[in-house]
Amino acid sequence: MTAPLCRVELFGGLRVVTPKQTITRFRTRKTASLLAYLAVNLHQTHPRETLIDLLWEDGDIDTGRTSLRVALSALRKQFQQADVPPDEVFYSDNFGIGLRSNAVTTDLHDMEQNIRLAHHTLEPSERALYLRRAADCCVGIPLPGFYDEWVLQLQQQTMERYFRALDELIQLLENEGDRDSAQEYALRGTALDRLREEPRMALMRLYLARGYSTEARRVYQEWESLVREELDAAPSRAMQQTAQQAEYAAQQARHSAQKLCESRLPTTPARLFGRERETAHVTELLRASTTRLITITGEGGIGKTALAIEVARRLVGKGQRAWFVDVSDVREGDALLEHILHTVGAAQYAEQPMDTAIQTLGGYPSLLVLDNFEQVDATGAKVVSELLQQLLLLQILVTSRRKIGLSEEQVLRLRPLEVPTFRAWQDESGGLSAKGTLETLEQYPSVQLFVQHAQTVRAEFQLTPENASAVAEICGCLDGVPLALILAASRARVLSPSQILRAIQQEIGVLSLPHPSHSERHRSLHASLEWSYALLSPDLRKAFAMLSVFVGGWDVSSATCMLTGQLESDNDVPDVTVLDTLDALIECSLVQMDEQDGQARYRMLEVVRRFALEKLQEGPYASDAFARHFLYYSRLATHAYANRVGPQATQWSLWVDREHQNMMEAIRYAWRRDTSRNDPAVLRMAANLWVFWMMRSILVEGRNVLDGLVADYREADDRETSYWWAWVAMGAGALAWVQRDLPVAEEMLHESLHRFEQEDDQEGQAFATIWLGNVFYRMSRYEQAEATHARGLVLAEKAQSAEARTYAMMWMGNLAQRAGDLERARALYQSCFHIAEESGDQYAMGFVHYNLGQVAFREGNNMECVRQIFRCLQIRARIEDHHGFLEAAETLTVLLARTGNDVAGAQMAGACETLRQRLYLPSSSSLLRETEDVLRLRMDKEVYQQQIKRGRSLSTQEVLALAESLI
């Protein structure tokens, strides 16, 4: 890239800097204006008419053209005289005139570019570097002495951007401790615009930080006089506040030691875990002095108080006074101020408490920490507001389970600590898995907190490979709530982690601690939640309890059904009352809202949900809540099954996956309720869901449900119940087939087929027969499998079931392929594909591509095999068929190894290993293990391990990209 030929500078006056000379004089003012306009708009082409209208608007068009031509010619001549080829600087064609951006730079463009770079940089030191460069470009206003309308607008906009950048730069330099540079830039700002307040305020702040209180007061007095004389105004409130700081700075310095003693903060019982980011954020907000009121909100026991104390301690360490005031026993605003004054040790020497507060708390930068503010009534917020209005140097940090509702309030919502996903740390024996390491597990703040508090009651307690998975699961079960973790860890004196886990799963009351150093509400999790519950209105208590039926969260639609009894509304507009209820519960820190796929989703922390469930079961609404929950999810399960193929299949599959816990809870409720075992409702719901369980690899839990329902409802004599029992039995057989439990699968499917035959249901007979044929195939009873699938195809055609026809023909194709009749197999698969494509059955389409890949492999057409497997992977990734995706990926691994593509094969093998772990599936097939052994023998050991490791880290999209690269 060639260097620019010249630089056009606009700040402080128009000039052109070339290697030979600096041009500062131009033929006419219009000539200079032309160059300036082209330089400001460096990357644009300007039509001649536009330039004429802008610069020579008074004359006619012909005169304007002549003037433009003369001005441009004069500029070209000046550049020529400076040994800068004008044709390389200017361009002129039929479309217009402009400067060549590769030949010309400008100080204005450099400033804008550095500001943009700063705003795209997160690292403070790098951000400051770009802002320094931007600030150094500006040595005065752009184009002084030019009074064209476009110039005046440019000056205003440019200087506004400059001063915003300057303010940010000064703050960054202050934070980095570079006060000399910060002071230099503040002085520059005051020189550039004597009527701008921000640089003067920054200068005062810097003088105060250095102890130059006299200089700070002088800056304020000059500013006060200037704005009064020239603007007939007074300094801003923020400037007055800074002036008060200057006024009392000397006194503060003399008594800093005394002030530190005056600060009253409780000792922090233990170090904070996982809160450094929040602590630093709140501390910086308060140190900036522009933030006066911050409220830390969150559930009971989330760690609000500990965080506030740590912030206050850090500020006291910087010389600020701070007082901690527990207001948990205050209910009314009238009592709040007197309680604050009593806590800080103020003597009552004024008639009004507010006057006492002004005399006691005024004069110094001070921080009040008001802890547990949630039960103070609305008048308490008014007291806080008045304190902030009367005491300009006072800041207030509130902890509350809900915000206090003032306009100047900044709210920090505290989230639970990060927790490990315990299954990832658990092997088949319940110990630490190969993937998990103690070092990695110990990085989780929830684990650190649990271990530290366990060691306070049992000094020898350590995290070990044997107890690691139990500790991880404890943290997950308690959602990372600090108080819950502390109370659970307190049981380490008498219980092992595994015993603690079982105890908290059975009884939330185990989370208690009779300890005098804890407040009453913090001695048990139940007491902490009771504190929040007591603040709710009767209607909110009812809603809170009823929403506890949801397991794993809910959306607006399901909440509407729960709270109003309406299964569906006439439009998509949410019920306002329901939204207000959810908002109130979020405000009270009892419900959390997250956004998933563009939709709001709500949940309670599990410990909160179990408490709410206790309240539900104590009241009269439990039966209604569980019934509404079942009706809502049963109805949607029916819709999901009806849309299992077609354009909405993926959407419904993902919905079933997201609502899996709620579905299971609904099934368990209906199962418990039907003591007569003659109600088809629970069977219908399970029958509608087992296909999705198979697709989503929910095999163990799914089989437990289906097997239990088959056993409990086998003797049902109601016809509808018998019908749905047959579908459930089919599902039990299908999931057993997936897990290769073939004898059980055969038994279940025979029972299902027999029941469908009794009901004379041809579609049910077709599906049961096809599944039975699948069992025979896996049992290597191929002749029996072929006859069974042929019978299934006949039944499918009689029932006019496209889905059943597809799978019957597909398995007949598998049998033909096994027999070596590849042409017949291909023809059957292609027929399947057409039927599946017509009905939108992407699940079946993925199978067909997989099977066509197998045919291509048998024919020796490896490229076609890879192509078909790739298409299968694409479809299965799109519909999130994780089990099917793994099957295709493993097949591709075998193919790559057999064709000598060892590097890609090892990467794919590593990816398959990760997929199996995510799906909690048993070890891979013997064929894949043999393939990995072959790769291990053929490849250098280190290279093999590197490629396996790389494959383990591949995402689904990266696996697809790897497969596509092979085509």
pLDDT tens digit string along 850-904? 999 999 999 999 999 999 999 999 999 988 888 889 989 999 999 998 888 999 9
Residues of the chain falling short of pLDDT 70 = 1-2, 210-214, 247-262, 267-270, 347-351, 363, 422-437, 507-524, 569-572, 920-926
CA dihedral 836, 839, 840, 844 (to 10 degrees): -30
Q: Model confidence over 501-551: pLDDT tens digits?
A: 888 877 665 566 545 444 555 456 777 788 788 889 999 999 999 999 999
pLDDT of residue 509: 58
> Length of the chain in residues, anyone?
967
Q: Residue 763 carries which side chain, given as an amino acid letter?
A: E
Q: Quote the CA–CA distance of 546 and 663 in Å, as a whole number.
A: 17
pLDDT of residue 435: 46
Q: Which CATH number fits domain 259-413: 3.30.470.10, 3.40.50.300, 2.60.40.1930, 3.30.420.40?
A: 3.40.50.300
Q: What is the DSSP string of 249-307?
A: HHHHHHTHHHHHHH-B-PPPSS--SS-HHHHHHHHHHHHTSS--EEEEE-STTSSHHHH
Other beta carbons within 10 angstroms of residue 128's beta carbon come to: 23
* 1-189 and 537-619 share one fold: yes
Q: Taking the chain, what is the end-to-end CA distance rounded to the nearest angstrom?
A: 38
DSSP letter at 25 equals: -
Q: Which top CATH class is 1-189?
A: mainly alpha
382 touches 355 (CB < 8 A): no
pLDDT of residue 833: 94
pLDDT of residue 212: 66
Other beta carbons within 10 angstroms of residue 612's beta carbon come to: 24
* C-alpha triplet 114, 120, 123: angle, nearest 5°: 95
77 touches 65 (CB < 8 A): no
Q: Model confidence over 93-136: pLDDT tens digits?
A: 878 899 998 899 999 999 999 999 999 888 888 999 999 999 99
The b/e string for 872-887 (b: 16+ C-beta within 10 A; e otherwise) is bbbbbbebebbbbbbb
Query: In the structure encoding, which two tokens stand for residue 850, read together?
Result: 């997989």
Q: β-strand 394-399 against 293-297: which pairing, if any?
A: parallel
Alpha helices in 600-714 (DSSP H): 606-618, 622-642, 649-658, 660-673, 681-695, 699-713
Handedness of CA 278, 279, 283, 284 (dihedral sign): negative
Domain locations along the chain: 1-189, 259-413, 422-526, 537-619, 621-752, 860-965
pLDDT of residue 504: 81
Sorted by sequence, the CB contacts under 8 Å of residue 199 that are 6+ apart come out as 163, 166, 167, 170, 186, 187, 188, 189, 190, 192, 193
In the chain, pLDDT over 70 holds for what percent of residues? 92
Q: Which top CATH class is 537-619?
A: mainly alpha
Among 714, 638, 698, residue whose Cα is nearest residue 664: 698
pLDDT of residue 925: 66
DSSP letter at 549 equals: T
Q: Quote the CA–CA distance of 472 and 426 in Å, as a whole number.
A: 9
446 touches 479 (CB < 8 A): no
Q: Quote the CA–CA distance of 401 and 535 in Å, as a whole number.
A: 10
DSSP letter at 501 equals: H
Sorted by sequence, the CB contacts under 8 Å of residue 611 that are 6+ apart come out as 508, 525, 526, 529, 533
Q: Quote the CA–CA distance of 469 and 659 in Å, as a whole number.
A: 26
The pTM score is: 0.64
Q: Tell the CATH topology of 621-752.
A: 1.25.40
CA 584 to chain CA centroid, Å, is 23
Q: How far, CA to CA in Å, does 939 sit from each of 32, 896, 903, 933, 944?
A: 72, 13, 8, 10, 6
Query: In the structure encoding, which two tokens stand for residue 839, read together?
Result: 């009905």
Q: Quote the CA–CA distance of 455 and 462 in Å, as a whole number.
A: 8
Residues facing residue 46 across a β-bridge: 97
Q: Is 345 helix (H, G, I), strand (E, B) or coil?
A: coil
Region of 479 (left: φ > 0; alpha: ψ -120 to 50; beta: rest) is left
